[in-house]
Amino acid sequence: PEMLVNLGIPWVLLGHSKRRLILNEANE
């Protein structure tokens, strides 16, 4: 369970970063 939690934290951060990059590209 600890591994899932550790993977879940950065996964969410990466997801937000990717979404932000996509949004930035869409704006331009």
Give whole-number Cα distances, 16 to 1, 3, 8, 24, 27, in Å: 23, 20, 12, 12, 16
Which residue range forms the structural domain that includes residue 23? Answer: 1-27
What tens digit of pLDDT does each residue of 1-28 get?
677 666 667 777 777 778 888 888 888 7
The separation between the first and the last C-alpha atoms of the chain, rounded to the nearest angstrom, is 41
Total of domains in the chain:
1
